[in-house]
Structures are given as C-alpha cells and as structure tokens.
A and B are shown apart, each in its own frame.
Chain A
C-alpha cells in the first residue's frame, strides 16, 4: 500500500491527534515563554476602538454580554478589553445579558477587570450590572422605548431608581453607544435590527468566527466596529493595550505638572519605545517633573501588560499553527484525491 493510499484510508482520529498537537504545543510554548505574536490592527478593529474613544469621558455605554462559557475562549478576551477601554476612558458602563449564562459572564469579566485593575470605580456610579433578562429580541424591542419595564432592578436586586447612574435612562436612546459581544441568537443581529438601525445608535460588535460573515453586510452603517473571533479580539486588544499604556503615562505626566499637549506627545513616544524612558528622564523636557513622577512614568512605560489583557494575542499562536495544519490537510487531501483519480478510483 502506497503512502497516499495509507493516508486515504487513515482513521480520522489521526487528524484529531494532529489538531490536538497543533493547538497544545503552541499553548504550552507560549505559557512557558510568555511570547506572543505581534498584531497589526485592521480598520474594523480600529474603528471599534475609535467609537468608544471618540465619546467624551462619562458617556453612557450599554454592554450586552450575549455569550456563554462555551464561547468564552473566543469572546472572553474581547469582553475584557472592552471593559478595560471603557474603564480607562471613564465611561459609565451598563451591563446586561440576553443569555441566561451571560449574567455569569458579566460577573466574571467585571470581577477580573474592574475588581482587579480599576478598584476605584464605584458600583452604581461608574458601572452597573443589570443582569439577565429573558425574552430574546422582545427585550431589545421593549427597552428601545422603556428601559425600566425590563430592568426595574439590577442583578443584586437594588431598584434602578436607587442607582445614581440610572438617572436619565428612560430608553435605549439615552445611551451613547452599544457594545455587544455575541455568540449567536439572540445577539448581534438582533441588536442591529432592533436597536442600532431604528435608533441610529453607534453599535460595536464582537462575535464568533462563524457569525462574522453575517455581520459584514451591516458594516459600517449599522455596525460601526466589528471584531470577528479571536483574531479581531487580538487586534483590538493590542490597540487597547497600547492606548492604555499611553493614557496612563499621559495622566501621570499631567499630574506631575506637564502641559497637556507635551504630555500627550511624550506619552506616545514612551509608550512606543519604553526603553527610551530612562534616557528621556534625563532630558530637559523631564526636568520640570518631580523624581517620583519620573519614576512612576518609567515604571508605567516598562510595566508588563497583565496576562488577562494578552489572552487574545496568546491564543493567536495556536490559531496560526492550527490554520497551517488545516491548509496542510486540505493539500494532502487533494493529493490523495488526484492520485486516486489517476488510478481510476476517484470518489
């Protein structure tokens, strides 16, 4: 039996084993070394970032987490990055879920990001967890005109009238933007049809790879930013990480007494080349800052990005090898096909 014939008759479990290795080996390698592949953001990821970045601080952002643990591997990293951008920017975040387990997703992502990295954000003033509401798209249709009918209390049972940041929220129209992370139905399509289109609200969508092709027709009019699967998440994550570093440095410089415009340009330079921070602290531009401020800036520039904000970029490694394996399998499958056709036994 020739090699190709053997391949043709091979048990599919060999394919499973190869795929298992293609995913496991990079995961272990990245876990041990901490190295990630560089990311270059596409315009879709950039516009997702810009929608939230262009809004003034304190804007009201509705974050709808319509996914479950099954898709958390694909969607969790973009959810954490969305919260990170909103928290850093100072937006007010309103979390809701149309999936029953979405409530747990809200809880785990907010605990990780807000609890871990933005503890100064106050519940009820800066963010609120309104929990899950049953009814699929009927919920969206109702809150488009009457928010409190569907969400009279938050996930902790507190009446929304006792939550300061709920003041002035009568309907979806009162939000400045909607962010939806979706793994299926109800999800991004329903948010486009019943919220973004009729209310003309900026909508940013993060969705699974299989859903992404269905969302492209809505870009850019109904969907302003689209993150498709882990690749989209990795691009967005890299943009947010860069910006957060830059913004933190800028804020420290301004707090240290530097003029806003100069602080902005310095922060951009230092965030791009953290190694220059030491040399910069000796320059005349840094002279006006106190030693503490300088030390804080150098520390911020060199500080490693926390692991939870690198999850998407880490997962791109296994994705690369798995995709290459897929290409290899397809090529191999075709070689087998053509060889067997030449022998006259084409399937």
Chain B
C-alpha cells in the first residue's frame, strides 16, 4: 500500500501531463498537476522547518561540536521570520496612510531590506566569489598535459582564458581585422571554439541526457524503477 499509492499517483499524473500535450481539452489538467507540486512543496516546508529546529536544538542541548553555530542559525532564522511577518520598520503606503501594515516589507529602509542589503547580499556574494580561489587551486592541481587529448584541452583553455581578456586582443592585434587571417585573432578564435567545438560537444551530451531523462521517466511512469520510493522491488 505504501508503495502502490505513490506509484498510482505518479503514473496518473505522468500520463495526464503527456496526454495534455496532444489533447487540448486536457491542457488545464496538466497545469493543475504542476500547481499541485508547488502546493505540496510549500506544505513540506513545515517538515523542513521542523527538521531544522530539531537538529539544531538537539545540537545545542547536547553541546555537540559547533553548537554555538546552531544558536546563530536559530537566532537569525527567528529574527528574519519576525522582521518579515511583523513588517518591522515598514513605512505605510502613501495611498493608505492610516494603515501601518499597508507598506512594502522590502522597501528601502525597512528592517527586512536592511537584513537583505547588509547581511544576505554580502554573504552570498562572498560565497560565490570564493569560486575564484577554488578554480585556481583546482587548475593548479588537476590540469596536467598527460597525453595528446589533455594537451589539446590545455591549448584550448589557454586560448579561451586569453580570449576573455584584453590580453588576447592585444597579443594578436597585429593580424589585420579585415584580412584573410582575421579568424586567427585570439578573441575571434575563442568565440569560434565556444560556438563550434564547445557547442558540438555540449549538444552530444545534452542529447544523451535528454534520452536518459526520457527513458528514466518512462521507467518511473511504468513503475519499473521504484528506487526513489525506497525500494527496488
């Protein structure tokens, strides 16, 4: 029963989504099915919130390693929730001056805006910027000219790295831009590599992935693959 009901739901919704592509009368059903997922995901957030609280409260009560971080997590979680729900620091909408809650919670100057602007934004920017360091260390460690293919890859990488900067333009700026060899200018070469070789490789991978997705979807719809429900058979 625990497996059968989800399988029936999967098969039914899958068939409805496929059929709605070809039979216009079913189109609205397809849209409904997509909406249902959003609703369920939203409800499931309660589960996630519960799990977050449970894990971190236990960490704090057990004084596990790093329990101080858990206090920060829970503190900021509740602070953000309060700031958003209670609309702290929100100025009323000019059209409804008598209604203090009519203002925009994300407007400039609100506590929510402040939290976003001065904590969330710099923190996420920092995480993203850290990629530069990791790329450098990965390149230093992993990019080895072990064989011919690796050498070709290295040469291509150098062209792209240079082609994305002024150095690429400067190095081959002596090649006339209107001449027959203009395609050899590094900035042109890098665009050519991206558009032709990279596109060809990507398309092959994407076609393989698309077929993989189609086949996996079919297996799931037919109930042949139940591993995602926690059971092979």
Contacts and interface: CB of A to CB of B under 8 A. Distances in A.
Interface of A: 12, 15-16, 18-20, 23, 37-40, 42-44, 68-73, 101, 103-104, 107, 111, 134-135, 138, 141-142, 155-157, 209, 212-214, 216-217, 219, 228-229, 231, 316, 319-320, 322-327, 329-330, 332-334, 337
B102 to A, nearest CB: 8
Given A69-B125, A73-B125, A104-B106, A15 B167 contact: no
B140 A69 contact: no
B166 interface: yes
A216 B203 CA distance: 10
A134 B121 CA distance: 20
B81 interface: no
A73 B133 contact: no
Interface of B: 31, 34-35, 38, 93, 104, 106, 108, 116, 120-122, 124-125, 127-129, 132-133, 135-137, 139-141, 143-146, 154, 157-158, 161-162, 164-167, 169, 187, 191, 194-195, 198-199, 202-203, 206
B132 A19 contact: yes
A229 B163 CA distance: 13
A217 B202 CA distance: 8
Given A71-B128, A104-B116, A217-B206, A323 B162 contact: yes
Contacts of A111: 108
A323 B159 CA distance: 11
B132 A142 contact: no
Given A69-B125, A217-B206, A323 B139 contact: no
Contact of B191 (A12, A44, A103): A44
B121 to A, nearest CB: 4
Which of A155, A323, A324 gathers the greatest number of chain B CB atoms within 10 Å? A323
Contacts, number: 129
Given A216-B195, A333-B143, A333-B144, A325 B166 contact: no
B224 to A, nearest CB: 27
B187 A42 contact: yes
B158 to A, nearest CB: 6
A217 B166 contact: no
B132 A316 contact: no
B144 A334 contact: yes
Contacts of B31: 138, 141-142
A16 B133 contact: yes
A80 B26 CA distance: 42
Contacts of A320: 165-167
B161 A337 contact: no
B125 A70 contact: yes
Contacts of A103: 106
